[in-house]
Structure 1
Amino acid sequence: MWHQHTIQLRARQRGFHLVTDEIEQALPELRKVKTGLLHLLLQHTSASLTLNENADPTVRSDFEAFFNRAVPENEPYYQHTYEGPDDLPAHFKSSILGVSLMLPITNGRLNLGTWQGIYLGEHRDHGGSRRILATLQGE
Structure 2
Amino acid sequence: MTRQTQFTLRPRSRGFHLITDEVVRNLPPLPEAGLLHLFIQHTSAGLSVNENADPDVQQDLAAIFDRLVRERESYYAHTLEGDDDMPAHAKSTLTGVSLTLPIVGGRLGLGIWQGIYLCEFRNRASGRRIVATVIG
User: Shared fold by TM > 0.5?
Assistant: yes
Q: Which runs of 4+ in 1 moved over 4 A?
A: none
TM alignment of 1:69-108, pairs within 5 A: 69-108=67-106
Pairwise CA distance, 1:28: 3.7
Per the alignment, residue 54 of structure 2 pairs with 56
Per the alignment, residue 114 of structure 1 pairs with 112
**Matched residues in 2 for 1:11 and 1:22: separation?**
12
CA deviation profile, 1:60-94 (whole Å, cap 9, x unmatched): 01000000011000000100000000000000000
**Contact 2:32/2:103 (8 A) holds in 1:** yes
Pairwise CA distance, 1:107: 1.1
**Matched residues in 2 for 1:55 and 1:28: separation?**
26
**Contact 2:34/2:104 (8 A) holds in 1:** yes
Per the alignment, residue 11 of structure 1 pairs with 11
Any idea what SS the aligned residue of 2:59 has? helix
Please tell me the root mean square deviation across aligned C-alpha atoms, in Å: 0.6
Normalising by structure 1, we get a TM-score of 0.96
Which structure's residues are more often helix, by fraction?
A: 1
**Matched residues in 1 for 2:8 and 2:125: separation?**
13
CA deviation profile, 1:28-48 (whole Å, cap 9, x unmatched): 412xx1110000000000000
* 1:38 paired to 2:33: no
Give unmatched runs, 5+ long, in structure 1. none
| Alignment: residue pair count | 136
Give unmatched runs, 5+ long, in structure 2. none
Any idea what SS the aligned residue of 2:73 has? coil
| Counterpart residue type for residue 112 of structure 2 | T
**Matched residues in 2 for 1:78 and 1:134: separation?**
33
| Counterpart residue type for residue 89 of structure 2 | H
